[in-house]
Structure 1
Amino acid sequence: MDRAAAEKLATELYRALASGDRDGLDRLLHPGFAGHATEGLPLGLGGDYQGPDAMRRQFWGRIARSVVARAEPAEFALLDDGRLFVRGRYTGTARTGAALDAEFVHVLSFADGQVSGLVQLTDSGRWSEALAEPGRDLETVDFTVTDGVGVLRLNRPDVRNAIDQTVADELYEVALRCAADQSLRALLISGSGSTFTVGGDVSVFGGVGADLPAALRRMTTPYHDALRILSELDAPIVTAVHGAVAGGGLGLLYVADLAFAAENTKFATGFAALGLSGDGGNSWFLPRLVGPRRAAQLYFEQRVLDAADAAEWGLVSHVVAGDALEHEAWAAARRLADGPTRAYGEIRRLLRDSWSATLSQQLVAETDAIARAAATADAHGAVAAFLEKKTPTFEGR
């Protein structure tokens, strides 16, 4: 492809992205499209995207929900291998109200008259600054970060931490803060009062009448985005549950790497009793964690599990006495925060992506991940400490 044709395709791509032209993107992107975004971008956006749908929904779509931005190309150059080098700027305004202004370099590949690949380099720090919103007060969720350990605590104890629109919005807000906070090395999720969460706030559902479909769509959109961001954090997550975990609130259990449950905890989906199909990632996580038959039991038979059952089925990692829950979960989060954060991030991605990868793809991913981990200061220090028969100290870099 000559330079003029390559520039024309690139210009059409940027116009389609700026206008949200889905049909235009379908026409421009090759079925074998592969994208790579800068590592370290907030919202867990950095990394590889296979296929046009993944790039459109998981990268560009998620950006559009958090920032109104344009990629404005300023310089084009055709490389010797036929790829197109593009330099420009991202400009726009995040939902936080902060301005985004970050340089980018794109390298575009082409096949069969379409864009077949995009490698992006940009200033991830500028993106993190634009998407962070540290000054906003939270009403229903508490969030603090101390010495690398973040604590996200649901705080509607009077309604057993039921999830309404405000909770959903604030969980999304906290997820954004977590993704943007480079000091975060582990996250602990817990709940105030007698119950971790009963799931969606049914009293709200009953008050919206015929507007229920739209209300549920408004509420699940930020909540699901929060779960997606949390599942893709580099920092490992510990969840501590007690009392009950139900409905969409189970999603906050699923995103954890280590899940602690007090002995008295009950687990249930509860959707069928309300004539609803479910949210919170239940239909994706449950079959993978407990198997399709047991997932069906939880949905169709409305099976309620106690903590021992939940551990045996694979929903939680540890069952502890109720009065020891906070201590045990905090200690686990503290241990993880003192560990090799960058390596933990690679491990989280490998475990998550293995569910949709072939063995060959996973072996390649492991090679790439271990090479990235090996380049960190923590890996160099740990190898040296091992050879010297010393205990390594990890700094998360």
Structure 2
Amino acid sequence: MPSQREEVVRRLYDALAAGDAQAATELLHPDFVGETTEGLPFDLGGTHRGPVAMTEEFWWRIGRHYRARAEARDFLALADGGLLVLGRYTGSARDGGGALDAAFAHVLTFDGDRVRSLRQYTDSARWRQALPPAPAGRRELRVVQYEVLDGVATIELDRPEAGNAIDPTMVEDLDEATFRITADASVRAVLVRGAGGTLSVGGDLPFFARTAAEDVPQRLRAMTDRYHLTLERLATLEVPVVCAVQGAAAGGGMGLAHVADLVVAADTSTFVFGYGAIGLASDGANSWYLPRLVGTRRAQQLFLLNRRLTGTEALAWGLVTEVVPHDEVLARADELAATLAAGPTGAYGRMKRLLRQSASADLADQLAAETREMAGSGASEDSREGITAFVERRRPAFRGR
């Protein structure tokens, strides 16, 4: 036969399911404290003091985003007179979301016939998975840090414990960050860097080792498709891109350096491709950029013999723009990005477009393109400012795109 306290908890769950705020509040002690799971969406996790706070800040906020019901399965009496309730949250997210099915454990204490406290434990990842995907430009970033300051958009790979290895989450975050750049007219330059003293060790091999063999091809296709769209977006930006390379730049991670306009590397940096060592072909635009940057013979050597280059060798081979001591890489890259952001970014975009198409254009087409871009840039305010400042022997104040 259910105990009196078990009946109180069942009535609380029924009141919440029915949206009866008064009934739910009356079952809570005036000094009620609710502790909810950290990591829940919409900052729902944390401490809620008082019946009203718990009802309005937690339960009703859940109701705005989910159609959810707590289904109790087991009630276990605790030595202190409390209850441990085990069950599942079931339902769905609103606004086109998916099904919700998350286990929970509730630890409740009582004061008479009212609930004095409730500690909630649940799988927050299941709550997030039920939500509809956020539109591009508003998706949460998890392993990439992104900010725009003084016209410079900084993308920082932030998996230092894994060498900033590229996994599905990293690919999704890079896609989101670069989409934000394209939608933000205030961005005048981009800086790409890695946290923890390295750019990226390339693909996340432990992730693929955990993947069933029959699923690897599809995983690779999905990741490379999305990653390549990100690289193409960076390569075709109208604003300059600077890449800072500390530590390793390996495999597909090299793509982030390839698509940059300026690359600052450390003298101690390491550049390696490594595909032959793991039985894979090539991604990250390596097969397109390498022959153009270092020549076919050197590209063959890098691919087939897994030749490892130092930062100094990468400079000599044409893979990077300049080399500085390890501790100066980020500062120098910041300096370059800030300088470019203060420049005529509209003209920079035209320059980048001309350089991109020169790889496949014949001379006549390229000359025609130069004529077109020169005329276009000549109509800009930056062009007028630049010419006037030169004549007046002062520093120009460019407004950019």
The TM-score normalised by the length of structure 2 is 0.65
Rounded Cα–Cα distance in structure 2 between residues aligned with 1:193 and 1:234: 29
1:240–1:259: 8 Å Cα contact kept in structure 2?
Answer: yes
State the structure with more CA Rg. Answer: 2
Task: Choose the corresponding residue for 2:244, options 240, 243, 247.
Answer: 240
Asked if residue 391 in structure 1 is aligned to residue 400 in structure 2, the reply is no
Cα deviation digits, residues 247-295 of structure 1 (max 9, x gap): 0000000011110001110001111111000100000000000000000
Kindly provide the amino acid, as one letter, of the partner of residue 238 in structure 2. D
**Deviates further, 217-226 or 383-392:** 383-392
Q: Does 1:349 align with 2:336?
A: no
In the alignment, which residue of structure 1 is the partner of 2:193? Answer: 190
Aligned to 1:135: 138
Equivalence for 1:146: 149
Q: Which deviations, in whole Å up to 9, do the C-alpha atoms of 1:64-99 show, x marking residues without a partner?
A: xxxxxxxxxxxxxxxxxxxxxxxxxxxxxxxxx9xx
Give the whole-Å Cα distance in 1 for the aligned partners of 2:138 and 2:305. 45
Q: Distance in 2 between matches of 1:331 and 1:325?
A: 10
Hey, what does 1:230 align to over in structure 2? 234
Alpha carbons 1:238, 1:329 under 8 Å: kept: yes
Deviates more, 1:339-348 or 1:376-385: 376-385
Q: Following the alignment from structure 1 to structure 2, what is the Cα–Cα distance between the partners of residues 242 and 385?
A: 37
Aligned match of 2:384 in 368, 380, 383?
380
Paired position in structure 1 for 2:256: 252
CA contact (8 A) 2:139 2:176 kept: no
Deviation at 1:195, TM superposition (A): 1.9
Output the amino acid matched with 1:205: F
User: Cα distance 1:146–1:132, how it changes in 2: closer, same or farther (>3 A)?
Assistant: farther
Scaled by the length of structure 1, the TM-score of the pair is: 0.66
Question: Does 1:326 pair with 2:335?
Answer: no
Structure 1 residue ranges (4+ consecutive) displaced by more than 6 angstroms after TM superposition:
none
Unaligned 5+ segments in structure 1 are: 1-96, 98-130
Partner residue in 2 for 1:361: 365
1:356 counterpart SS class: coil
Q: How many residues of Structure 1 are paired with residues of Structure 2 in the alignment?
A: 268
Aligned to 2:307: 303
Q: 5 Å matches for 1:259-278?
A: 259-278=263-282
What residue in structure 1 maps to residue 294 of structure 2?
290
**1:282-331 alpha-carbon deviations (Å, 9 max, x no partner):** 00000000000000000001100001110000000110011111111100
Q: 1:260, 1:325 within 8 Å by CA — same for their partners in 2?
A: yes
Do 2:137 and 2:177's aligned partners in 1 also have CA atoms closer than 8 Å? no
1:158 corresponds to which residue? Answer: 161
Distance 1:361 1:132, change over 3 A: farther
Shift of 1:132: 7.6
Cα distance in 1 for partners of 2:209, 2:188 equals: 40
Amino acid at match of 2:267: E
Given that 1:268 and 1:298 are in contact with CA atoms closer than 8 Å, whether structure 2 keeps it comes out as yes
Structure 2 residue matching 1:193: 3-state secondary structure? helix
Judge conservation of contact 2:137–2:179 (CA < 8 Å) in 1: no
CA distance in 2, matches of 1:239, 1:201: 21
Instruction: Judge conservation of contact 1:132–1:180 (CA < 8 Å) in 2.
Output: no
8 Å CA contact retained: 2:238, 2:349? yes
Structure 2 counterpart of 1:146, one-letter code: L
Distance 1:331 1:391 in 2: 18
Match of 1:380, SS state, is helix
- 1-structure distance, mates of 2:135, 2:242: 23
Give the fraction of aligned pairs with identical amino acids, expressed as a percent: 47
Instruction: Give the Å deviation of 1:194.
Output: 3.1
Q: Which position in structure 2 is the counterpart of 1:106?
A: none
Distance in 1 between the 2:376 and 2:183 partners?
20
CA deviation vs aligned residue, 1:164-223 (integer Å, no higher than 9, x gap) = 011111111111111111111000100001321000000111122211110000100110
**Which residue pairs with 2:178 in the alignment?**
175
Unaligned 5+ runs, structure 2: 1-95, 97-133
Question: Do the aligned partners of 1:132 and 1:177 also contact (CA within 8 Å) in 2?
Answer: no
Letter in 2 for 1:336: L
CA-CA distance at 1:134 after TM superposition: 4.1
**Residues 237 and 333 in structure 1, CA contact (< 8 A), matched pair in contact too:** yes
Aligned to 2:80: none
Shift of 1:379: 0.6
C-alpha distance in structure 2 between counterparts of 1:358 and 1:391, whole Å: 37
Partner of 1:339: 343
CA distance in 1, matches of 2:264, 2:394: 31
Q: CA deviation at 1:387?
A: 2.0
